[in-house]
Amino acid sequence: MNPDSTATIFLPPQGSTVSGQVDTIFNFVFIASIVFFLIVVSVAVFFVIRYRKRAGMAVAEAPSHNLKLEILWTVIPTILVFIPFFLGFRTFIKMHIVPKDALQVKVTSQKWFWTFDYTVEGVNSLNELVVPVGKPVQLTMSSKDVIHSFYVPGFRIKMDVLPNRYTVTWFEATRRGEFELFCAEYCGTGHSEMIGKVRAVSEREFKDWIGAGSAVEEGLSLVELGAKLYTAKACITCHSIDGAPGIAPSFKGRFGIQIQLEGGKQTISDENYLRESILKPMAKIAYGFQPVMPAYQGILKDREIDALVEYIKSLQK
């Protein structure tokens, strides 16, 4: 089936095993709503015209009840309500019972990016979830700060991600491709930029990606690796590299200068300051900026931290 043939004016092409069931419910409710809206409006307009008050016409006494009509308008809506109920209940159960052989991924959300840890494979990524086609994937999710919401329209899945507790959802991709990932819960000034993607690949491609996960840094200088991490680790969301101000200070010209901190103190932006700002961003907050940067403690390896520091230093030139 051509993926484009499953798209509608309201919904993107289907990409998971549950997409078709969700679309069936959506289409039934949508079409039924339009049909009954047209029936009610048409009958109302007909009655207004047909039974309008005319000159010299006596007002007839309204009937107290009509048993057949009352049964009709009770039975039909009841049947219509139970159809989406049973369809929805079946889909709800399927969406909340995770298959035993599912790939395990720990999802961590924070302002304003997603971290994916493959618990068995030992690989992690930011803002890109790579999964094999035809393999169930269980997402165990939690938030480090506020409420976020994991939403992949192509898979028809959405689940709130909460601080101090876990929520679970799962999906199984049915075709290869890239699917947009959004945060569907307003979480602050960078909410609209909290965008990721789910990349569904073949089983062989997935194994190759997992195998290459630990070798990503090989063959790159620290500055080159830092340039890649600037985008891959979502630094680009808040920090520019051209001197333009944003949510956070620009990286350009930031190293080796004396900077003003909140509270009236000053410090030199050296290697130690940059490292501390990456791991413990609340320790020393730059004057004029909000304390919104997430901590990368436990997310970045030592060499990745070194690479980002060297990359920032390189932007001084």
Per-residue pLDDT tens digits of the chain, which is 317 residues long: 566 667 778 888 999 999 999 999 999 999 999 998 999 999 999 989 888 877 777 777 777 788 888 898 899 889 989 998 999 999 999 998 889 889 989 998 988 888 888 877 777 788 889 999 999 999 999 998 899 999 999 999 999 999 888 899 999 999 999 999 999 999 888 888 888 999 999 999 998 888 776 555 555 677 888 888 888 777 887 888 888 877 888 888 888 888 888 888 888 888 888 888 888 888 888 888 888 787 888 778 777 888 888 888 888 76
pTM of the predicted model over 0.75: no
Give the model's pLDDT for residue 112: 84
How far is the C-alpha of 142 from the C-alpha of 222, rounded, in Å? Answer: 32
Residue 304: closest CA among 205, 231, 210, 255 = 231
- pLDDT (0 to 100) of residue 213: 64
Contacts of 231 (CB under 8 A, 6+ apart): none
pLDDT at residue 214, rounded to an integer = 54
State the DSSP string of 176-238.
-EEEEEEE-S--STTGGG-EEEEEEE-HHHHHHHHHHHTTTTTT--HHHHHHHHHHHTTGGGT
3-state secondary structure 126-182: ECEEEEECCCCEEEEEEECCCCEEEEEHHHCEEEEECECCCEEEEECECCCEEEEEE
What's the one-letter identity of residue 192? Answer: S
> Which DSSP letter does residue 296 get?
-
Residue 70 parent element (H or E): helix 67-96
**Residue length, the chain?**
317
List, in order of start, the domains of the chain with CATH numbers. Answer: 3-47+65-96 (1.10.287), 103-213 (2.60.40.420), 222-314 (1.10.760.10)
What pLDDT shows up at residue 161? 94
